[in-house]
Structure 1
Amino acid sequence: MDWIEWFGEHFIGMFNAGGEQFMNLLTGIVPTLVVLLTFTYALIKFIGEERVTKAIRFTSKYALLRYTLMPILSILLLTNPMAYTFGRFVEERQKPAFFDSLVSFLHPVTALFPYANAGELFVYLGIANGLTQAGYSTSELAVRFFLVGILVMLIRGLLTEQITKYLMKRM
């Protein structure tokens, strides 16, 4: 009968641990997410949606901005998965590259702006927890993730645009 008692304790223990983790999120990161999201939407309202749209159209004209600033703005302003709708501002032949650029930035943005892609938050928090236990700063990690993410999305955007051009010529 010892195994039944062990199973009962550990089975309910799994749910107790899940409840504790939920409360940690509810009292820790969730209020921060709500405030960041509110700030972002308030900023759009203050600036004006028309001006924001005009600025995004401008960024779509230049490759450097199209594969750096434009994906950053789309993720920060609309979050995942709505960020993909910024693809309407780029030409049809540039859409695969914009999508590739945007998707490659969904994880790095989470470190500094957790509301932007909440699905990736658990990955980052797992890495950050390991660093914290090892005695390292998570702030430095967040900034490095963000900066490397910008470089990676630029490279992927430019490369995918060239591949798309090549494939379109073959057709």
Structure 2
Amino acid sequence: MEWLKWIGEHFIGMFQAGGETFMGMFTGIIPTLVVLLTFTYAVIKFIGEERVNRAIQFASKYMLLRYTVMPILSVLLLTNPMCYTFGRFLPEKQKPAFYDSAVSFVHPVTALFPYANAGELFVYLGIANGIKEAGYSMSELAVRYFLVGIAVILLRGIITEYITKFLARRMEAKS
């Protein structure tokens, strides 16, 4: 019967630890997320939704902007998973590359803008805490994540667009 007591104590202990973690977030990161999200929506309202849409349509015309500005704005303004809807401004042949860019940016953006993809926050914080314990700056890590993320989404977008074009030509040749 000792094992039953052990299971009971540790089973509830797991939930108590989860509750403590939740309360830590509720008094720590959650207010920050709410303020960041409110700020983003306020900026959109001040600029105007139509102007934001026109900026995205302009960015969709140029490859460099299509795989940097578009995914960045989509993730910051609409957050994950709604950010993928910015693909509506693109022709079908460019949608896979945009999706690849956007989905690749939802992790790097978490360091500076945690509201954009709160599900990835736990991954980032795990890495950041290790960096902090090693004596390095979490701010530098956040900026580096963001900048490397931009380079990665540009490369992925360009490569995926060329792969999509190649496969489309191949399918046309077969039919």
- TM-score tier (shorter): over 0.9
Q: Which position in structure 2 is the counterpart of 1:76?
A: 76
Q: Which position in structure 1 is the counterpart of 2:42?
A: 42
Quick one: which amino acid aligns to residue 12 of structure 1?
I
Q: Secondary structure at the match of 2:64?
A: helix
Map 1:147-166 → 2, pairs under 5 A: 147-166=147-166
Please give the alpha-carbon distance, in whole angstroms, between the structure 2 residues aligned to 1:20 and 1:128.
20
TM-score by length of structure 1 reads 0.96
Segment drifting more, 9-18 vs 81-90: 9-18
Alpha-carbon offset, residue 6 of structure 1: 2.5
Q: Which position in structure 1 is the counterpart of 2:5?
A: 5
Decide whether aligned partners of structure 1 residues 133 and 6 sit closer, same or farther in structure 2, where only a CA change above 3 A counts.
farther
Deviations 1:97-145, CA, capped at 9 Å, x for gaps: 1001111111101111000011111111111122222222211111111
TM-score by length of structure 2 reads 0.94
Please give the alpha-carbon distance, in whole angstroms, between the structure 2 residues aligned to 1:133 and 1:10.
29
Please give the alpha-carbon distance, in whole angstroms, between the structure 2 residues aligned to 1:125 and 1:76.
19
Q: Which position in structure 2 is the counterpart of 1:56?
A: 56
Please give the alpha-carbon distance, in whole angstroms, between the structure 1 residues aligned to 2:27 and 2:125.
15
Map 1:62-101 → 2, pairs under 5 A: 62-101=62-101
Q: Secondary structure at the match of 2:61?
A: coil
> Identity over aligned residues, as a percent?
77
Q: What is the RMSD of the two structures over their aligned residues, measured on CA atoms?
A: 1.0
Quick one: which amino acid aligns to residue 111 of structure 1?
A
Segment drifting more, 141-150 vs 9-18: 9-18
Alpha-carbon offset, residue 91 of structure 1: 1.4
Quick one: which amino acid aligns to residue 118 of structure 2?
A
Quick one: which amino acid aligns to residue 39 of structure 1?
F
Task: Give aligned pairs, total.
Answer: 171
Q: Which position in structure 2 is the counterpart of 1:33?
A: 33
Please give the alpha-carbon distance, in whole angstroms, between the structure 2 residues aligned to 1:132 and 1:84.
33
Consecutive unaligned residues in structure 1, runs of 5 or more? none
Alpha-carbon offset, residue 52 of structure 1: 0.7
Please give the alpha-carbon distance, in whole angstroms, between the structure 2 residues aligned to 1:75 and 1:88.
14
Quick one: which amino acid aligns to residue 64 of structure 1?
L
Please give the alpha-carbon distance, in whole angstroms, between the structure 2 residues aligned to 1:133 and 1:90.
44
Please give the alpha-carbon distance, in whole angstroms, between the structure 2 residues aligned to 1:132 and 1:167.
45
Please give the alpha-carbon distance, in whole angstroms, between the structure 1 residues aligned to 2:10 and 2:130.
25
Please give the alpha-carbon distance, in whole angstroms, between the structure 2 residues aligned to 1:16 and 1:134.
29
Q: Secondary structure at the match of 1:126?
A: helix
Q: Which position in structure 1 is the counterpart of 2:24?
A: 24
Quick one: which amino acid aligns to residue 110 of structure 1?
T
Map 1:114-125 → 2, pairs under 5 A: 114-125=114-125
